[in-house]
Chains A and B, each alone.
Chain A
Amino acid sequence: AQTVTQSQPEMSVQEAETVTLSCTYDTSESDYYLFWYKQPPSRQMILVIRQEAYKQQNATENRFSVNFQKAAKSFSLKISDSQLGDAAMYFCAYRSQTLTSGTYKYIFGTGTRLKVLA
């Protein structure tokens, strides 16, 4: 079974600085997707960035980028020029290959709470 581990329960970053959130996973599959979701106090889960396993190029979305190390099964999120609005809970998620039912299964890590200091 796949597992997702986020070893940092909480992180702090100064406004305008850069922070990296860690995520590791375990799987025997060769093709899969990885995601980072953000959940602010408003509680809606918002997609931050996605990475397909067979693409070697690291995904980037504006100030958000990932460092995807497939062999090491590592998928870290870098937030550059941190803003107060980045404060939230961040979840790393793994999406398995299609199950026999034709349905994907998403597995979430335990989350990292990011505080942004003014």
Chain B
Amino acid sequence: DTEVTQTPKHLVMGMTNKKSLKCEQHMGHRAMYWYKQKAKKPPELMFVYSYEKLSINESVPSRFSPECPNSSLLNLHLHALQPEDSALYLCASSQDRARGLGSPLHFGNGTRLTVT
């Protein structure tokens, strides 16, 4: 069982739709991440939240809008996406400012997004 839960597992949306991806963790982690992964490629970092504040935005287009309502939840709002945005979107969490724990990333199962 995964400790990071992502919904939905699959999403098909048109270029004019608005949808949201959701991520939830209950491990008490204070850092949460959104990654985008294309087939046979490594995950690419999009956003990082630390203590519910956006700390990293890797120059992601504004059609992707992250939100961290509380320490357990992370959303990614999608609007006016392009077909090239089709990918696996992975959420992850980790302990932060926790030197000595070697805090790894804990990943969810991802949302497979198809933009038509």
Contacts and interface: CB of A to CB of B under 8 A. Distances in A.
Interface of A: 33, 35, 37, 42-47, 50, 52, 89, 91, 93, 98-99, 101-106, 108-111, 113
A33 to B, nearest CB: 5
B36 to A, nearest CB: 12
Most chain B CB within 10 A, of A33, A50, A102, is at A102
B88 interface: yes
A42 B42 CA distance: 15
Contacts, number: 70
Given A35-B104, A99-B56, 16 more contacts: A37-B105, A43-B109, A43-B110, A44-B108, A44-B110, A45-B43, A45-B92, A50-B102, A99-B55, A102-B55, A103-B31, A104-B96, A105-B48, A106-B45, A109-B42, A110-B41
Contacts of A109: 42
B81 interface: no
Given A43-B88, A111-B42, A103 B50 contact: yes
Contact of A101 (B45, B55, B110): B55
B23 interface: no
Interface in B63-116: 88, 90, 92, 94, 96-97, 99, 102-110, 112
